[in-house]
Structures are given as structure tokens and as C-alpha cells.
Chain A
Amino acid sequence: MILRIPSGIPGFDVLTSGDGVGGIPENTVTLVYGPPKVGKSIFCYHFMYNGLLQGEPCLYITSDYGLKQFQQNTRDFGWELDNYFQDETLCLIDAISSVSGSKIVDTPTYLSSSVHNPTDIMVKLGVGTRFISQKSARFRSVLDSLTTLMAFNQEMLIVRVLTAYIMRIKEDGGTAVVTYTEGSADSKVETMLKAVVDNVIHLDGNEITIEAMVGTGKKKSSYEITDSGITVGE
């Protein structure tokens, strides 16, 4: 019996339901990949926000959008995050604001880091995972995106960092989604990414493909992005 948690994406959980309740298998790591601008980050916002609504805290590592942009992006879909920062169920590791020169003061739920410094990201990850996993035995985590980390660092180093990240999240009982832009790294590295995660989901702008998922065969469906986020199927 494989436990699954809801993704928060309308249609997705139906797509992934076999004989039971669909969703993302608990305590696994899912890679969401595809070309640029097909909704990978939106997928992550859904996953995070749905968890927060159900009282599952989230550790979110952002390397593409700084705090302000991140909040704006989610607000576009009507998802307000302020409350969750305040009640300390959302912890953000911001690896990009410091690069653009913005100075934001660290709080228990806002940790500034840098895409240039994977070691520091790992330190913050340790702090963040401890903080979040103490809140709840069941929690979610997002790493958006590997692409940016790989652009600023040796690709293989990021594979090793990802391996450690996966191990930590799973050991503490979390479920994670990581994103990657198709074709941005060496093809050997890309294959390795698919190998180290549990589930692989491909988005191409029109179709979502479940390439691999624990307990689910290959699945495919159309999807669209509207004001309320991603909708899978008709």
C-alpha cells in the first residue's frame, strides 16, 4: 500500500490514481522537468500551498526568484503566504536575493543564501529541515530549481548536493519536488538526475507526462495554466 499526498493540482491526483487515492507518493522525491516557461514553478507553488492549507509545513529553496518576486508569483494565483511565514510553517531558503544585492534580514523562516555557495545552502538546509521537521512529522519541500544551481556551480557537485538533500528530506519523513530545465545540463547529468529521484514528471507546455512514479505506470494528459494555476485534463 503506497501512501499518497494530494498535489493540490486539479486533475493531477485523478491522473495518478490507480486503484486507490492518487497524488504524490509520500516520502519520495519527484523531479519535474521540461523546457523553460511551461509551469514547473507553478507546479511547485501548488504542491507547497496545498500542503500549507492542510497544516503540512514546507521548506522551500528558491534559486530563481527572490522573496519579493516569489511572493508576487504566488499572489498572482491568489495564494497569500504572509500568514504561513508568520505562523512559521513556511521556511524559505532564498539563494538569489543576495546575488542581486538585496539585503533582507534572516528570520527563523527566512534564510538568505547564495547560488554561488552550495555549502552555505547545505548549511541552511540543515537548519531549515530541523526547524520544519520539528513542526510536523509530515512535511513538504521544494527545490526550484536545480538549473540555476548548476549554472553557477560544477554540475556534478550539484548532483552530490542533491543526493544529500534527498537523503535528508526522506530521512526526516518529508516529500519533495525538485525542478530542472530540460537540456540545460550535460545529458549524462540529466540522466543521473532522473536516476536519483523516485518520480519523474515531464511538462512541455501542453502535455504532462508521468514518466515514472512509484506504484503508477506511465500516464499522460493535457494541461493548461490559468489564473488559478495548473489544471490537468479537461
Chain B
Amino acid sequence: MKKTYIPKLDDLLGGGILEGVSIMFCAYPGVDCEAFGYQMLNGRVEDGDRGFIFTNVAEPETIQYEFNSYGWNLESFIDSEKVFFVDGSSSFLGAPSESKYTIQDYAEVEDVILDAINDIPKGIGIINNLSVLIDYMGNGDTIDIIKNWNQKAKENETTLVYIFTEWDYDTGLIQKIKESMDCVVDLTTIEERVIIGQGFMVARASWTEPVETMVLFFVVQPGGVKVYVPKILVTGPYNSGKSSFVKAITTESVSVDRKALGAFPTTIAMDIGHVDYKGFLADVFGTPGQERFDLILNVLSKEAVGAFIMVDSTAPKTFARAKEMIRKTRAEAIPKIIVANKQDLPDALSPEEIREKMKLKKDIPIIPAVVTEKKGIEESLDALLKLLYGD
């Protein structure tokens, strides 16, 4: 077995990937997916394997620059002939190329990549980007080409990594592409009106029954793909004040997000932070309120030690959803605090009225709060600490 060099991914794949398999990172538009391919290649080459990068989205120089920003030295790999480029970008722009292979015309791409695979038995090839290829080649051709590449890779025990952006293709086509791969890893966005996080999940792997879980990640420069496991969840219906609450309870100075931003802008930010309160340290994640993200709540709450459930005290209509979210987060099993936000508004219900409407047991604390005025923040944290550690 080979490692993927993506944190947590090997665990989900039963230890790693088999020799000669194809693996596709299938990204929803907006997810940073290129880093996954580059990180795999970097890890493998550092451990002695050889590799190539096919690019039709950036000139080799740009990719080298990107590797540098992650802290990986692609230049030395190229100088020592451990890695070479299959350059499908430069000639398209009329730019010169010093790569081992250059593609002048898309008609050549199939054969050139077959040659490249032949050059690196037991190595790793990155195809970035498969979606751009599809729109140039046509659907049917692309699938045949993928099959031939994967066949050749199998014979050579070469790992092939595809970067694929799931634009609005025909679902049948996407299905066929996925079926032609040994392994598919879905990269998705977690959104509440805007992207607030990214997660990966193994959709299929031919050699193992993958663990069905979603892993939160972010990409930092330097560093690459980092996994994030929050211990405290902040959840609640839309517009209940989650983001502001996360901001209010976390300390800026040690927030992972901020730290990464300081080093170099992260490619994607998340509603995450770090609590440092009375000696209690934990990572926090504000999860989106929409139903389509309930799966994430479920997954994340398995690792969480506590949860804040935000409710808008002026919007009793949303209480049913809040109650449902408590169930989905399996927060029944972990200590949880209800934060009754927006107590400053005239039509806000009192904590006891909320308890009655939501039919909550007496032992669940409901803390009145005005998050925008920082009221009830410390009380909420104290209440959670009390549940976790007693008095």
C-alpha cells in the first residue's frame, strides 16, 4: 500500500491506496482541489518515487511557484529528474516550454500521457485538470481515454490522480467518469449563503469499504491540506447569530484561521476559531443551518465534546428547526447549551417561554444573550464548562 499524504485520508481508505490505482478528487466549484494532487505528488516524491504533472490550466512556472508557496520544492525534483511536466498549457498561450513533454494539440494528449505513465513505473501522475479536457475532447472520447490511461497505469503500477471540477455536467457523464476510477474523493463546500468551510469524503474505493465520514479541511500556504477537528460546535437555524457567537467566544491570537492568514492568505477561510477560556482550550466550528448540511452536523458531533445551539428569541417559527438540529447533531449525547439570542429586541421570548415552546428538559441550560453586545457570552461558556467539569 502507498500513502496518500493527505491527513486522515489513509484512515478512510483502509490504510492507503493500492499500487496502480486511479484516484479522482471531484470538487464542487469553489473548493480548493489542486492542492490535493500536488500534496500527494510531493509526499510520494519525497519518499523516493518519481512523478509527472500534466497541466492544461497553468504554465509549469506558475505551478512551481504554487509548490513554493506550500513550502514544497518542486524545482529540485525537476532538476534531479524525479518529476517532469506534461505541458498542455504553454503552447496554447504561445509561450515557450522547457518541459519534457509539450502538447501542441489535444489530439496528442492521449498518447503523450501514455508515454509519461510508461516513464514512471510505480510512480505517480497528476492530471490537472480533467474537466478542461472534457470540454475540449468531447464526452465519449474523454471516457475512452481515461480508461486507456488507467489500464496503462495499472500495468505500470503507477498511481494516477485526477483533479476534476464538477461543473454542471450531465449527471450521466459524471457517473461514467466516476465509475472509470478506482477511487473517488468528493470535495464539497459547506455554505451558509457564502462558503464557510470545506470537507472531503471518500465516495468509493475499489479495494475497501471506505469509512463514511466527512473530514473538514482547509488549505494553508505554507503547509497544504490541513484537517480540522472541532471540539465545540455552534449551531442553530439561519440568522440566529452563529457567526457572531463564534467570533465572540474565540480568541483571535490563537485562531488557526488567523494564524494561517498571517503567514500567507489562506485560499479559503472558515467559520472556525479557538476558545481559550479559564484554562479550557478547544477548536470551534460554526455549522450552517440548512438541512442539506445535516450530515456534517451528524459527523462532526461524533468528535465534539460540547455544543452551543443558538436560537433567535424573536423567531419561534424557527424553534422546531432548532429542536431538529439538536437531534441531528446527536447533541442529546453531548453537553449542550441553548443560547437565547437577541434578547434586546422587544418581541423576544424569555428563556422560560422558549423552554416551554421547545419542550426542553430542565437540565438543559438556556442562557439569555445579546451576542452583538457581547452579553451572555461568558455566561454561556461558564455554563458549558460547568456541564463538562462540574462546579
A164 at the interface (CB under 8 A from B): yes
Chain B residues, Cβ within 8 Å of A119: 90-91, 94-97
CA–CA, A118 and B94, complex, Å = 6
User: How far is it, in angstroms, between the C-alpha of A122 and the C-alpha of B59 when the chains are bound?
Assistant: 14
Give the total of A residues in contact with B, Cβ under 8 Å.
Answer: 10
Chain B 58-91, CB-CB to A under 8 Å as 1, else 0, gives 0000000000000000000000000000000011
Residue of B nearest to A153 (CB): B94
Which among A119, A122, A123, A157 has the highest number of chain B CB atoms within 10 Å?
Answer: A119
> Can you list 10 residue pairs at the A/B interface with Cβ under 8 Å?
A119-B90, A119-B91, A119-B95, A120-B96, A121-B94, A122-B96, A123-B96, A160-B93, A164-B94, A164-B95
Chain A residue numbers with a CB within 8 Å of B96 are: 119-120, 122-123
**How many residue pairs bridge A and B at CB < 8 Å?**
24
A14 within 8 A of B: no
Residue of B nearest to A120 (CB): B96
In the bound complex, residues from chain B placing their C-beta under 8 Å from that of A123 are: 96
Q: Is A42 an interface residue (CB 8 A)?
A: no
Distance of A118 Cα from B92 Cα, bound (Å): 10
A118 neighbours in B (Cβ, 8 Å)? 94
Which residues in chain B, 91-130, are within 8 Å of chain A measured between CB atoms? Answer: 91-97
Which residues of chain A in 89-121 are interfacial with respect to chain B, using CB atoms and an 8 Å cutoff?
118-121
A130 to chain B, nearest CB (A): 14
A5 to chain B, nearest CB (A): 28
Q: Which residue of A lies closest to B91 (CB)?
A: A119
A41 to B326, CA, bound (A): 75
Instruction: Please indicate the chain B residues that have their CB under 8 angstroms from the CB of A157 in the complex.
Output: 92, 94
User: How long is the Cα–Cα vector from A161 to B93 in the complex, in angstroms?
Assistant: 6
Report how far A157 CA is from B94 CA in the complex, Å.
Answer: 7
Q: How far is the CA of A207 from the CA of B175 in the complex (A)?
A: 60
Within A2-41, the residues touching B (CB, 8 Å) are none
Q: How far does the alpha carbon of A9 sit from the alpha carbon of B360 in the complex, in Å?
A: 86
CA distance A158 to B93 in the complex (A): 9
**Hey, which chain B residues are within 8 Å of A164, CB to CB?**
93-95
Nearest CB of chain B from residue A150's CB, rounded to whole Å: 13
Q: How long is the Cα–Cα vector from A119 to B96 in the complex, in angstroms? A: 6
**18 other contacts beyond A118-B94, A119-B97, A121-B94, with CB at 8 A cut-off?**
A119-B91, A119-B94, A119-B95, A119-B96, A120-B96, A122-B93, A122-B94, A122-B96, A123-B96, A157-B92, A157-B94, A160-B92, A160-B93, A161-B93, A161-B94, A164-B93, A164-B94, A164-B95
